[in-house]
Amino acid sequence: MSMLSKEQIKNLISSNNITTVDDISKTLKDMFKDVLQEMLEAELDDHLGYGKYNISEKAINNSRNGFSKKNVKTEFGNVEIDVPRDRQGEFKPQIVPKHKRDISGLEQKIISLYARGMSTRDIHDQIKELYEIEISAEMVSNITNKILPKISDWQNRQLDKVYPFIFMDAIHFKVREDNHIVSKAAYVVLGINQEGFKEVLAIYVGENETSKFWLSVLNGLKNRGVEDVMVFSVDGLNGFKQAIEATFPHAQMQRCIVHQIRNSLKFVPYKDRKKFASDLKSIYTAPTEESALDALIIVKEKWESKYPYSIKSWENNWDTLSTFFQFPKDIRKIMYTTNVIESLNRQYRKVTKNKTVFPTDDSLMKILYLATINVTKKWTRRYDNWDLVMNQLTIIYGDRIKKFAS
């Protein structure tokens, strides 16, 4: 509902000779300045204890002492205001605090644009067009740097003592380092907590994906309170198994079936790919591990002579590919693939697609953190049939689940 009556609006239009949209903007800007000025005057009245034109004994102790001109950034652009002063120098306005020259909420807008992957040049153009305010790339960087302490707090926050499932993957970016462009990995850890909700546990930026770094990531989880994990779902990185066994020796590991299929098909020409993929499906959709092994033997007999590496990969990694066969269907659906974290990675790719090279690790970490906050706001649903899943996990793992139950 409008705060002004139709009659007041008509008077406003006629008295200000408003005929265009620009006239509306100018009038609103002038009104904003007038209202702001009156609020500053009211704040000083409250501070002194008497009005501007009231004679009071309190004036003996303190009184008005003119104005200081101040340019401030607002949503209507730059506005010059007169900040009232008192003789004692004790007046501290709240609506426009001392030393503050931006009351537009501009910083939050810049951070929001940055989180959506806009370049500093695009942010500059957008702010100039909307607010007639010039900002530099350095200013954008300085503003977004204000979230670095929040990132540090987020990275070091206390985690739950147990997670039924944790997914781990890495996504790669180009970063400038010592005047060279190098490839860096963003190590992403996503957990499913005991309530059945997804949660990004950590993001670390480091050198190319290595088992040594993953070991430090897992130790970081332990240091933040994680005592036990039932199942890790991971891709095919060498050394993953050793890193998990060294930190969470009782956890089970599931190698991503989707990654495995992709790797197998890399060596199969297009003419055979559809048939080969169909035969592989008989392995991972088998009802039991025993029947899956029977299916693997059949696939091996049919294809090994043509594509030995693809078959050998399944045999060599069977211990971590076959883990999910131990579980009922509802748990299998959760753990057999890392698609849940790949979906998150697609969101990261979306907001970083305009940035071919990041100037620093911090600049990469800032945009990944902001993207994470935006994405996880939408994670309001827990996994389907979660109560059934937890009941099954309690039967399978017993006290390992029960001792951490709230």
**Alpha carbons 152 and 159: distance in angstroms, whole number:** 14
Residues 249, 252, 257, 258: is their CA dihedral positive or negative?
A: negative
Collapsing DSSP to helix, strand or coil, 187 comes out as strand
CB of 173 closer than 8 Å to CB of 183: yes
Give the model's pLDDT for residue 68: 84
Q: Please, which pLDDT band fits residue 1 given cuts at 50, 70 and 90?
A: very low
CB of 37 closer than 8 Å to CB of 81: yes
Higher-pLDDT residue of 55, 357: 357
Give the model's pLDDT for residue 97: 75
CB of 185 closer than 8 Å to CB of 174: no
Give the model's pLDDT for residue 78: 77
**Alpha carbons 160 and 309: distance in angstroms, whole number:** 41
Dump pLDDT digits (tens) for 189-215: 999 999 999 999 999 998 766 678 888
**Alpha carbons 182 and 173: distance in angstroms, whole number:** 8
CB of 111 closer than 8 Å to CB of 370: yes
Give the pair of three-digit tokens for residue 356.
Answer: 């071919």
Collapsing DSSP to helix, strand or coil, 37 comes out as helix
Dump pLDDT digits (tens) for 137-152: 777 777 788 888 899 9
Pairing of strands 198-206, 180-192: antiparallel
Question: Is pLDDT above 70 for 167?
Answer: yes
**Alpha carbons 310 and 404: distance in angstroms, whole number:** 42
CB of 86 closer than 8 Å to CB of 64: yes
**Alpha carbons 171 and 328: distance in angstroms, whole number:** 31
Give the model's pLDDT for residue 66: 83
**Alpha carbons 294 and 202: distance in angstroms, whole number:** 40
Give the model's pLDDT for residue 248: 95
CB of 370 closer than 8 Å to CB of 114: yes
Question: Is pLDDT above 70 for 116?
Answer: yes
**Alpha carbons 87 and 61: distance in angstroms, whole number:** 9
Closest to 226 in 3D by CA, of 397, 400, 384: 400
Give the pair of three-digit tokens for residue 157.
Answer: 């926050």
| Model pTM score | 0.74
